[in-house]
Chains A and B, each alone.
Chain A
Amino acid sequence: MRKSICLIFALLISLNAQIAVKGEVIHTMAGEQITNGVILIRDGKIAAIGTTKEVIIPKECQVLSAKVVTPGLIDARSVVGLGGMLNQSQDQDQLERSAPMQPELRAIDAYNSLDPLVKWIRQLGVTTVNTGHAPGMLMSGQTMVVKTHGTVVDKAVMKTTQMIAVTLGDSGLMPKGSPGTRGKAVAMLRGEFVRIQNQINAREQAQAASKEDEKNVAKSTQPRNIRDEILERVLNREVPLLVYAHRHYDILSALRLAKEFNIEIVLDGASEAYLLVNEIKEAGVSVIVHPSMSRTFGEKQNMSMENASILQKAGIRIAMQSGYESYVPKTRVVLFEAAIAAAYGLGFDNALKAITIDAAKILGIDARVGSLEVGKDADIALYDGDPFEYTSHCTAVIIDGKIVSSESH
């Protein structure tokens, strides 16, 4: 009886499906994996998911099959679209050096959706990126979350303002000018937030006064200032700071700043985070771990391929990133970075989480992406073997229900 109800239900939901994805193994990232499963896609969303016995594929459906199926991968920190493939002055928009703090710079205004690197990562299964302004200035600008398809960024974008990129440590210091030291860098950030707090206080006092005296209404309206607006959103915990910090003492500065102003931060890179497991956990901060294959120079010289594993085991939420590269390769691929982390203690399941559902949670987009569940965006990656194996291929990629790659890569 129950079986037949299921069958009827399956038939009903399968009626209008446009694409069916069959997988010998489907890693749903929501509960157990499905062996011999099928996903039905309708109008860009997942309409049904289950075993081939539970979900019936309608005849008119286009069917894709693969050994392994995962949610579309999420790169939690990248600069693709801003840092172009050619590395020439005309395609490098990831870092504005005219002033140390420019949180008003939006990623959406600088993103080239057709840069070859966007296609490159898409073909390897990456369907969503948190991309934008690079580390390298104290407050270099905003990041956004965008799907890796389409021409018009306004259609592909999921969140126009995701985070504000902040750089602590050597990378954020200026050879000439300010900040020239770590102390100055933190003082500048604190000064900026205090300035905004003062403005808010003054406005609130003015508003309170205007209630008493209606003639004072004009006093309470200040002219718009896009920089102050975004910083106020940071203080309101609407927009987190994405703090690039590698040395242990720079990470501590970030945690201190978060506590002082009660702002939300996410650590970016955090090479020496393994030294501060308790502090990071206590602060409830997530870490977007440096690329496993990042170069071990300067403030990254103590980087560990086991960093992701150590943090994850301690109960800290992590995601992986491709990061920012100034030279060759111009972008890393988050799948391969997670693969190394998987092999160095993180394990398959947690490594896949770090580039799907956990990345989605850190970015606050898990209601739409990061797992394969009914109602979620149909962002799906297909592989002919273990996705982390060097010699496997990504055979197809689907974003919002559209097949955006069908060649083996």
Chain B
Amino acid sequence: MNKWIMFVIFAYMTTGFAQESAPHAFVGARIIPVVGKPIEKGVIVIHKGKISAIGVADAVELPNDAVVHDATGQVILPGFVDTHSHIGGAGAGDSSKPLHPGTSVFDSFNVLDAGIQKAQAGGVTVANVMPGSGHLMSGQTIYIKMRDGRIINDLVIKNAEGKFMGGMKMANGTNSIRQAPFPGTRGKSAALVRALYIKAQEYRQKILDAKGDKTKMPPRDLGMEALVEVLEGKRIVHHHTHRHDDVMTVLRLQKEFGFRVVLHHVSEAWKIAKEIAAAKAPCSIIIIDSPGGKLEARDLDWKNGIALEKAGAVVGFHTDDPITDSRLFLRSAAFAVRAGMSEEAAIYGLTMAGAIMLDLQDRLGSLEVGKDADLVILSGSPLSVYTKIQETWVDGKKVFDRADAQDHLWAVGGYGAGEDRPVEYCCYGKGQ
């Protein structure tokens, strides 16, 4: 009897460990890989955090030790990339001045924020977490994976050199026009930004001139260091902008200083879609239930997606959480389709387009062998209001499961849904 119990425990433990490192195979779903055509009754295998195989049922051999998930009737998509989010209660620059290149969201992000759990419930696996838009330059952004981490380092994506990735948040138009020392007009806004970039160009020149000689290097300047990365294209500018003329100002500054830019919100993009496409500036658009709420968004239109798609621009979406709820991110793509965008382009906009905007297109954004095992499993057609996200997987680990009671609470709301994720700690068992 005792032996039997021991055996059961042992068997459970070994299978438990095995499941941790074993490949997972999802069988029978309609798989939308984004790159390539949808696969009916497909198979996708993930192992060690990466996609190891994908294809039609007959073409994929399941590893012997694979944990097989029957996904018949479900739809599998790549994890969604939210190019503009404010989860984690993060900020950067304060109200002391309009330009804060040296500050970063990295230093103020709450990894236990329920917003992360809600984003997982919405199928978001990667987000660009930004400071607000009340400054011309409000600081550095971070690109995070929706892992259930303990500290911020667990979440932020590292590049090939092992450095944490992120962009630079900028804004123009009325949000950053305030009392002095903030600009009072658009002309002043652009002048302040130009002056800063000229300073950064000079700083960079000093570094180049030093040719590695430490004694000739300019004194360290946190803001300038970040701006050098911007000037060298290593840190992408994520630019809040609404009105058509403000968008043109961004493109003008981009041309002058040569930084890489993603246009965010771009309410009036439909008025200048050709110019945006010609400048090869990707657009991360927002879908709001009604226009207005501020002067600059009076002409915001659901047709932005189709207008930019037609013009040939890269179009993605963002939640701007809490402006829209991460749990309903799919809705943004659906409304773009309502206004004429193709379903294919809309799903690309939730995934691959976002990956491109964060320089992560080689690692995620589509379901291809070798890419990160970031998956969303849906109960049905991606753009239907009745469809539910069943599971979300990040780096080969399940981070959201609608069948789990706690995950369900975050997914639909209810008492306690706004509290930080509970953590286990010493002495008294579970707590918060």
C-alpha gap A329/B287 in the complex (Å): 10
- A340 with B328: in contact, given A116-B291, A296-B418 (CB under 8 Å)? yes
In contact, A329 and B413 (Cβ under 8 angstroms): no
Residue-wise, chain B 317-336 has the 8 Å CB interface mask toward A (1 for contact) of 00000111100100100110
Judge if B414 is at the interface, Cβ distance under 8 Å.
yes
Distance A340 CA – B324 CA, assembled complex (angstroms): 14
Segment among A218-226, A302-310, A311-319 that sits at the interface with chain B:
A302-310
| Contacting pair B292 A301 (CB below 8 A) | no
Whether, in the assembled complex, B386 has its beta carbon less than 8 Å from a beta carbon of chain A, the answer is yes
Given A340-B385, A393-B338, check contact A331 B290 (CB 8 Å): yes
Chain A window 59-88, contacts with chain B (Cβ cutoff 8 Å), 1 for yes, 0 for no: 000000000000000000000000011111
CB distance from B26 to the nearest CB of A (A): 24
Q: Given A302-B418, A305-B412, A329-B288, answer yes or no on A293-B325 (Cβ-Cβ < 8 Å).
A: yes
Complex: A243 Cα to B290 Cα, angstroms: 26
Beyond A87-B293, A293-B328, A330-B292, is A389–B415 a contact (Cβ under 8 Å)? no
Q: Which residues of B contact A272 (CB under 8 A)?
A: 415
A107 in the interface, Cβ–Cβ < 8 Å?
no
* Cα A202 to Cα B396 with chains together (Å): 76
Interchain nearest-CB distance for A18 vs B (Å): 31
Q: Indicate if A47 sits at the interface (CB-CB under 8 A).
A: no
State whether the Cβ of B59 lies closer than 8 Å to any Cβ in chain A.
no
Max chain A Cβ within 10 angstroms of own Cβ: one of B290, B297, B322, B419 = B290
| Complex contact B417–A302 (CB within 8 A) | yes
CB distance from A338 to the nearest CB of B (A): 10
Pairwise interchain contact A88-B295, C-beta atoms closer than 8 A: yes
- Complex contacts, B385 vs chain A, CB 8 Å: 339-340, 342-343, 388-390
Contact with A along B414-432 (1 / 0, CB 8 A): 1111110000000000000
Q: Verify A336–B414 contact, CB threshold 8 A.
A: no
Residue A195 is within 8 A (CB to CB) of chain B in the complex: no
* Count of chain A to chain B residue pairs whose CB atoms are closer than 8 Å in the complex: 113
Q: Point out the residues of chain A lying under 8 angstroms from B295, CB to CB.
A: 86-88
A193 within 8 A of B: no
Residue of B nearest to A275 (CB): B415
Return the CB mask of B395-424 against A: 1 if under 8 Å, else 0.
Answer: 000000000000000001111111100000
In the complex, B337 has a CB within 8 A of chain A? yes
Main secondary structure of the interface of B (DSSP, over half): loop
Interface residues of A in 325-347 (CB under 8 A from B): 325, 327-333, 336, 339-340, 342-344
Contact of B323 (CB < 8 Å), options: A120, A328, A340, A343:
A328
Q: A390-B335, A391-B383 are in contact. Are A301 and B417 (CB under 8 A)?
A: yes
Q: How far is the CA of A147 from the CA of B326 in the complex (A)?
A: 34
Looking at the assembled complex, report how far the CB atom of A223 sits from the nearest CB atom of chain B, in whole angstroms.
Answer: 43
Q: Is A139 an interface residue when CB atoms closer than 8 A count as contact?
A: no
The answer on a CB contact under 8 Å between B418 and A329 is: no
Which residues of the partner chain B approach A275 to less than 8 Å between Cβ atoms?
A: 415
B289 to chain A: closest residue by CB: A329
Chain A residues lying within 8 Å of B298, measured Cβ to Cβ, are 85-86, 116
B325 touches A306 (CB 8 A): no
Task: Tell whether, in the assembled complex, residue B413 and residue A305 are in contact, meaning their CB atoms are under 8 Å apart.
Answer: yes
Check B292 against A86 for contact (C-beta < 8 Å): yes
Q: Is the CB of A390 within 8 A of B338?
A: yes
- B294 interface hit (Cβ, 8 Å): yes
Question: Knowing A117-B292, A293-B328, A295-B322 touch, does A301 contact B383 (C-beta < 8 A)?
Answer: no
The DSSP consensus for interface residues of chain A is: loop
* A261 contacts partner chain B, Cβ-Cβ < 8 Å: no
Per the CB 8 Å criterion, the residue count for chain A at the interface is 43
Chain B residues within an 8 Å CB radius of A304:
412-414, 417
**CA gap between A71 and B414 in the complex, in Å:** 32
* A85 and B335 alpha carbons, distance in the complex (Å): 20
Confirm or deny: B384 has a beta carbon within 8 angstroms of a beta carbon on chain A: yes
Interface residues as binary, B276-307 with A (CB distance below 8 Å gives 1, 0 otherwise): 00000000000011111111011000000000
Whose C-beta in chain B lies nearest to the C-beta of A309?
B412
Q: What separation, in Å, do the CA atoms of A303 and B322 have in the docked complex?
A: 14
Given the known inter-chain contacts A340-B385, A343-B386, please indicate yes or no for A87 contacting B292, CB distance below 8 A: yes
| Given A388-B385, A391-B338: A85 in contact with B418 (beta carbons within 8 A) | no
A118-161 vs B, CB cutoff 8 Å, 1 = contact: the mask equals 00110000000000000000000000000000000000000000
User: How far does the alpha carbon of A327 sit from the alpha carbon of B325 in the complex, in Å?
Assistant: 15
Which residues of the other chain, B, contact A333 by a CB distance below 8 angstroms? 289-290
Residues of B within 8 A of A302 (CB): 413-418
Check if B384 sits within 8 Å of A390, measured CB to CB: yes
A344 and B415 contact, CB distance less than 8 A: no
CB contact under 8 A between A296 and B417, given known A86-B298, A390-B331, A393-B338:
yes
In angstroms, Cα B331 to Cα A328, docked, is 16
CA of A306 to CA of B294, assembled, Å: 31
Measured CB to CB, the closest approach of chain B to A85, in angstroms, equals: 3
How far, in Å, is B204 (CB) from chain A's closest CB?
37
Within B333-384, the residues touching A (CB, 8 Å) are 334-335, 337-338, 383-384
Partner of A295 from B325, B384, B386 at Cβ < 8 Å: B325
Complex CA distance for A344 and B389, rounded to whole angstroms? 12
CA distance A52 to B291 in the complex (A): 39
B388's closest neighbor in chain A, by CB? A343
23 A–B contacts from the bound complex (CB under 8 Å): A85-B290, A85-B298, A86-B298, A87-B292, A87-B295, A302-B414, A302-B415, A302-B418, A304-B417, A325-B293, A329-B293, A330-B291, A330-B292, A332-B289, A332-B290, A333-B289, A333-B290, A340-B385, A342-B385, A342-B386, A343-B386, A389-B384, A390-B337
Other contacts beyond A328-B294, A390-B383: 19, CB < 8 A: A85-B291, A86-B292, A87-B294, A120-B290, A120-B291, A293-B324, A297-B418, A301-B417, A302-B414, A304-B413, A305-B412, A325-B293, A329-B290, A342-B386, A343-B386, A344-B412, A390-B335, A391-B337, A393-B338
Closest 8 CB pairs of A and B: A301-B418, A85-B292, A328-B293, A390-B334, A304-B413, A330-B293, A329-B289, A329-B290
Q: Which A residues lie at the B interface, using CB under 8 A?
A: 84-88, 116-117, 120-121, 272, 274-275, 293, 295-297, 301-307, 325, 327-333, 336, 339-340, 342-344, 388-393
